[in-house]
């Protein structure tokens, strides 16, 4: 989601090359990317992935392409059948492929607490497109061969279970495979309700933001400054509401938690970034950790986490910190 804004075309293509050469085969984008979302730039990330696929001549069956739809056509007009159909066709065109492996609803059409909100407020509910209409449109995408599987994102336990219940009527139950929600050391809300749903319904979590937008690297809370000027939270300060509303760098509990997790890493000789990603990957319900890197050294560090095993002592210390500072970034 940084490709096309924070990372230009040359850097983006180098990162994709390096990731693919290292064995990464799952690539996730969205029609609204890059962030911060702007009308002038939406779709650039998909276009760069498509450009890379063609330039590298990547065999289509060697990668799993995922993307997501939002309500960007003409503004927030809703995820109705027409918009879903148009979004699928537009993503296929930008990616330059015949089909999308995993097509996801970026976030619910209905009101739900998101991006730092935790409490459900019934008075904020509004008229939304029925899930049945969304499923019917997605089903047509599956029948036409344009998409192969369906995923949800930023969903609640109610939303996931309701989609699964209704999907039976459209013969789509076996096609819904994933939910992409935030999950990291600073946001473990998934474990409170969604985890049980996913376990029993055989739904995998695609854990996005495993490093909490880079905060868990410790770069924003070093002793001498507030992080590099080209770091996302500094570069787009005041322009990235979705990130800033969840990851409030002035939150003292967040800062304390980050310092405690960093202390654990130092104690066991593991960098904070590797500790953060390894923690996510060890979760039995995680199908993949969805991360973004803007520099090659960041990518290389994240990939090291796939070779790190967190022992019971480390996990116990992590849980102790979580008990004292439970999910400061919901």
**320 alpha carbon, distance to own chain's centre:** 26
User: pLDDT, tens digit, for every residue of 112-168?
Assistant: 998 888 899 999 998 899 999 999 999 999 999 999 999 999 999 999 999 999 999
In this prediction, residue 74 carries a pLDDT of: 59
What number of other Cβ atoms are within 10 A of residue 98's Cβ? 9
Cβ–Cβ under 8 Å, residues 166 and 304: no
Is the separation of the CB atoms in 249 and 217 below 8 Å?
Answer: no
pLDDT score for 36: 85
Q: Quick one: pLDDT band at residue 314, thresholds 50, 70, 90?
A: very high
Is residue 37's pLDDT more than 90?
no
pLDDT bucket at 28, cuts 50 / 70 / 90: very high
Span 259-263, average pLDDT: 97
Among candidate residues 138, 153, 19, the one with its CA nearest the CA of residue 87 = 138
Sign of CA dihedral 128, 131, 133, 134: positive
Higher pLDDT, 321 or 38: 321
pLDDT tens digit sequence for 2-27: 999 999 999 999 999 999 999 999 99
Query: The domain 9-182 is classified under which CATH number: 3.40.50.620, 3.10.20.30, 3.20.20.100, 1.10.10.10?
Result: 3.20.20.100
Catalytic positions, please? 33
| pLDDT at position 68 over 80 | yes
Q: What confidence tens digit (pLDDT) does each residue in 184-203 have?
A: 999 999 999 999 999 999 99
Overall average pLDDT of the 277-294 stretch: 97
Task: Specify the pTM.
Answer: 0.94
pLDDT at 286: 98
Confidence of residue 231 (pLDDT cuts 50, 70, 90): confident
Q: Do 46 and 95 form a contact (C-beta atoms < 8 A)?
A: yes
The pair phi, psi for residue 120, each rounded to 5°, is -80, 130
What distances in angstroms separate CA 159 from CA 22, 27, 31, 268, 316, one per listed residue?
36, 25, 22, 40, 32
pLDDT at 75: 54
β-pairing verdict for 147-153 and 100-105: parallel
pLDDT averaged over every residue in the chain? 93
Q: Is 1 helix (H, G, I), strand (E, B) or coil?
A: coil
Sorted by where each begins, the domain ranges of the chain are: 9-182
Which residue from 86, 92, 80 is spatially nearest to 136, judged by alpha carbons? Answer: 80
**Res 72 pLDDT > 70:** no
Report DSSP state, residue 74.
T
**Higher pLDDT, residue 227 or 65:** 65
Radius of gyration of the chain (CA): 19
- Whether cis (ω within 30° of 0) applies to the bond prior to 36 is yes
- Ranges 33-37, 68-72, 248-252, 306-310, most confident: 306-310
pLDDT at 76: 52
For range 46-58, the mean pLDDT: 98
Residues contacting 319, CB < 8 A, separation 6+: none
pLDDT score recorded for residue 224? 62
Pair 178, 287: CB distance under 8 Å: yes
- The residue with greater pLDDT, 177 or 234, is 177
Task: Please report which confidence band the pLDDT of residue 284 belongs to, taking 50, 70 and 90 as the band edges.
Answer: very high
- For residue 71, pLDDT over 80 is answered with no
pLDDT at 223 (0 to 100): 61
Determine the pLDDT at residue 239: 73
């Amino acid at each position: 989601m940084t490709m096309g804004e924070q990372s230009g075309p040359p850097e983006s293509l180098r990162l994709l090359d390096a990731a693919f050469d290292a064995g990464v085969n799952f690539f996730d984008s969205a029609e609204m990317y890059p962030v911060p979302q702007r009308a002038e730039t939406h779709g650039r990330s998909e276009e760069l992935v498509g450009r890379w696929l063609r330039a590298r001549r990547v065999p289509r069956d060697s990668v799993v392409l995922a993307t997501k739809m939002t309500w960007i056509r003409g503004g927030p007009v809703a995820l109705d059948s027409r918009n879903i159909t148009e979004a699928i066709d537009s993503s296929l065109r930008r990616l330059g492929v015949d089909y999308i492996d995993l097509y996801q609803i970026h976030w619910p059409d209905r009101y739900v607490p998101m991006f730092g909100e935790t409490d459900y407020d019934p008075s904020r509910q509004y008229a939304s497109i029925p899930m049945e209409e969304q499923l019917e449109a997605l089903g047509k995408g599956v029948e036409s061969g344009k998409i192969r599987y369906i995923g949800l994102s930023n969903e609640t336990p109610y939303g996931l279970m309701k989609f699964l219940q209704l999907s039976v009527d459209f013969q789509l139950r076996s096609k819904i495979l994933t939910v992409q929600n935030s999950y990291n050391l600073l946001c473990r809300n998934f474990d409170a309700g969604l985890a049980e749903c996913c376990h029993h319904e055989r739904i995998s979590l695609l854990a996005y933001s495993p490093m909490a937008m880079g905060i868990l690297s410790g770069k924003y809370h070093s002793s001498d400054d507030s992080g590099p000027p080209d770091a996302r939270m500094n570069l787009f300060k005041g322009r990235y509401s979705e990130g800033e509303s969840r990851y409030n760098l002035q939150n003292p509990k967040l800062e304390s938690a980050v310092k405690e997790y960093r202390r654990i890493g130092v104690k066991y000789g593991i960098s904070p970034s590797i500790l953060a990603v390894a923690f996510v990957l060890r979760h039995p319900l995680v199908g993949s950790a969805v991360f973004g890197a803007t520099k090659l050294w960041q990518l290389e560090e994240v990939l090291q986490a796939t070779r790190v095993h967190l022992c019971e002592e480390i996990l116990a210390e992590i849980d102790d910190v979580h008990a004292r500072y439970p999910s400061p970034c919901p």
